[in-house]
Amino acid sequence: MTGIFITGTDTGIGKTAVAAGLAGALKERGYSVGVMKTVQSGAALRNGKLYSQDAELMIKAACPCDEEELICPVLLREALAPDIAAKIEGKTIDPGLIKNAYMELERRHDIVVVEGAGGIAVPVKDRFLISDLIVLLGIPAIIVARPGLGTINHTFLTIEYAKKCGIQIIGVIINNYRGGMAEETNPEVIKDLTGITVLGIIPHDLKIDVDRGEPGDIVALVHRHVDIEAIIRF
């Protein structure tokens, strides 16, 4: 396994933090780790230039020395699905460009942690979805899910759709755990329903702020709460 695709059951569930934490944890275990944000919608502006705040958080965690155009090959200003944001800006997203960037990162590193955009069925270009991008890259996925009510349904549907697409699933990571009965019972139900392992439950960390580039304690939390060995062995 030379790459891991971090996708999710929805947007805003902490895929970036999980990707950063996993990248940092793998680096601390001695791996050369590359990071990649395939498409950044809602890219921020700094000194008149767009940049990926998601990629910056992952870079802080793993400290790769790769070029910006490889780490985030597609930057879009509008915080919308990539396909819609690109059309508004008069741009065309080329999946081949993303794959070429990934292949170069794969050549340079032992493993590349790749983050998608939104959920697994978000359109990248016309009817080419994030799921199609995962298949194009040919790497297995970790699904990030929220902890509370509704996550059984969202996670089950995401897993079933991924299986239908032929995507290998390493496991599920439940992020932003704050306590509660649903949060405590969901992992076992998800495993029983889907046959997919819950790799870990990451607790809420107030110090994590993607927009400000603050990774908080995410690397330590991944070390402590995620079964990294199961990921490495996959």
Contact 58, 35 (CB under 8 A): yes
The candidate with the shortest Cα–Cα distance to 197, out of 205, 184, 188, is 188
Q: Is 42 annotated as a binding residue?
A: no
Residue 142, helix vs strand vs coil: strand
Is 175 annotated as belonging to a binding site?
Answer: yes
C-alpha span between 178 and 202 (Å, rounded): 9
Burial of 9: CB neighbours in 10 Å, binned 0-12, 13-18, 19+: buried
Cβ proximity of 119 and 11 under 8 Å: yes
Is 131 within any annotated ligand binding site?
A: no
Rounded CA-CA distance 99/182 in Å is 38
- Angstrom distance (rounded) from CA 140 to CA 103: 15
Would the annotation count 43 as a binding residue? Answer: no
The verdict on whether residue 100 carries a ligand-binding annotation is no
115 is in an annotated binding site: yes
CA 56/CA 179 separation, integer angstroms: 29
Q: Flag whether 9 is marked binding.
A: no
DSSP E strands in the chain: the ranges are 3-8, 33-37, 39-40, 44-46, 49-51, 74-75, 111-115, 123-125, 128-129, 141-145, 169-177, 198-203
> Is 78 among the annotated ligand-binding positions?
no
Active site residues: 37
153 annotated as ligand-binding? no
Residues tagged in the binding site annotation: 16, 41, 54, 115-118, 175-176
Residues tagged in the binding site annotation for substrate: 41
Residues tagged in the binding site annotation for ATP: 54, 115-118, 175-176
